[in-house]
Every structure is written in structure tokens, then in C-alpha cells.
Amino acid sequence: MYIKYDLEHMADSLKKDVPIKRSMYLYIGAEGSYFTPLEINRSKELGGVPFGMDETDQSDAIVQLFTDFENPSQPFIVAFIGKPFKVYPKSNPAIDWKIGTEEKSIGGYLCHKAVGQFGGRTYEAWFTEEIPYSVGPWKLNGLPGAILEAADTKKEVQFFYAGLDVVKDKLVLFEKKSLPELTYEKYKKSLENSKLDKVGSMLANLPPDAKVEFKTEDGRSISQEEAEMMMKGVKNDVKKFNLNNPADLTSK
């Protein structure tokens, strides 16, 4: 199955009224879960990847993260830089969740509230035991059921439940055992370089056979050339967007 989330991240503390917004997908299979901004349809083609023209930096919560059920304490980033690489984050401490007595319904599922610390933030999460997988958005997991919603207490990083569907056909995303490993330092360097060529870096972070459709925020289809021109215009905008409030505050 997969769970869809609407992510809102107030990533620029000087632009609190302009949070980064993205749809994120958590695919759950027999071996693990895969958190990604890419919508994968039943024909095995990757869906379009929307991106805001007013954002020159990405939220660090927008990541392609695979969590192996056999070793959940060691999730790895799948970085598509020409070809897919496996990148292990420097640290991923387990969350010491405190499960309370509050309950509410989300998407028709009975959910329980839990509170835990991660990345320098306090998160309130709502999980359901009706989906018996210890999964959740981004690096938020470790509860006896799937997390459907989560937000830090300052409402700066929020994941809202946006739907769920069952995938009956097998979807092969990548062969995890054959992925070459890239050091975290080189991965971070590639992210820095991506700021110089936003469109090019986005394409480099997709599988080679991915079909890409460029759209503006109002849903209008545009060419790659138009997207590049729009991004160049953003670079000259004095209202530069800065990622000075990352989701993981301990990553500074």
C-alpha cells in the first residue's frame, strides 16, 4: 500500500507565511518502506514532480528514504545522481515515544496520540494499529502502527494525511542490495551544487527512465526550457529563499 501526506515546512524563518508544500508518498512493502516525493502509478512510470518557482532551496524533509524492516535503525537515502546511490545518514536515533490516551479518527482509522523528540523538535504523532506497520512520514516511525499525521509543537514541520491506497501489482523501485554506496559528505556536496542548477539537479535525482512533466503552481504545463527560464528569474529575485530552519535542527 501507500500513504499520501501533505507536507508543510516553514523552512525560512524570515518567510513564515510561505511554507514549502509538497505531496509525499510512503510506499509500504514486504521488505520495507520508501518515503519519496515521487508518485509511482500502476504502470510503473513515475508521476510528475511539482516544484515551486519561489523556492531556491528544498526542505530537508523532502528526501527519498528507504527503511528496511530487518534493520529499521539504519534507513538509507536513495540519491539518483546520474544513477542511484545508497547514502546512510550520519545519525538516526530511535524516537522514545510516549503514547497517551487521546484518540481521534483520521481517514476512517482510529488513531492514538504519541509524543516524541527527534531532530531537536518535539513531535505529536497520530498512529493507527489498524495498519500494523511501524512506519511513518520521513524519519518518524517506531510506533505500533502507521503514523498518519505528525507535527512538531511549533507547527513548523507538519505531515497531514491525504489518502491511502492498496497497490495490487508489484512495483520494482530499485535493487537495494546492488546499490553502490555514496558517502554522506559527497551527498551533501551534491545538494549544495544543486542550488546552481535547480532544474538540472532535479532531473539528475530521477531514475534514467523517469518521464518528467513540468507544471507551474497553478497546474499549467510548461517545457523544460520555460522551467529553466523561470528558475533563472527566481535567482535574481531579491527575496531569496533560505533554508535556515531545517526539519532536522541537529543537522546544522
Would you say the C-alpha torsion 49, 67, 3, 135 has a positive or negative sign?
negative
Angstrom distance (rounded) from CA 156 to CA 110: 25
Angstrom distance (rounded) from CA 214 to CA 221: 6
Question: How long, in residues, is the chain?
Answer: 252
What is the model's pLDDT at position 202? 58
Angstrom distance (rounded) from CA 96 to CA 117: 7
8 A C-beta contact, residue 174 and residue 153:
no
Q: Which residues contact 209 (CB under 8 A, 6 or more apart)?
A: none
SS3 (DSSP) at 13: coil
8 A C-beta contact, residue 197 and residue 191:
no
Q: Which residues contact 248 (CB under 8 A, 6 or more apart)?
A: 60, 61, 118, 119, 120, 139
pLDDT tens digits in sequence order for the chain, 252 residues long: 999 999 999 999 888 888 999 999 999 988 899 999 888 764 444 444 444 444 446 788 998 999 999 888 889 998 877 678 899 987 777 899 999 999 999 999 999 999 999 999 999 999 999 999 999 999 999 999 999 999 999 999 999 999 999 887 777 777 788 889 999 888 888 777 766 555 565 565 555 566 667 776 666 787 777 776 766 655 554 356 778 999 999 875
What is the model's pLDDT at position 49? 44
What is the model's pLDDT at position 35? 95
Long-range contacts of 19-23 (CB under 8 A, 24+ apart): 20/52, 20/55, 20/58, 20/59, 20/62, 21/52, 22/50, 22/59, 22/62, 23/50, 23/162
Strand pairing partners for 111?
104
Cell of residue 95, nine digits: 524516537
Cell of residue 76, nine digits: 538509507
What is the model's pLDDT at position 196? 59
What is the model's pLDDT at position 129? 97
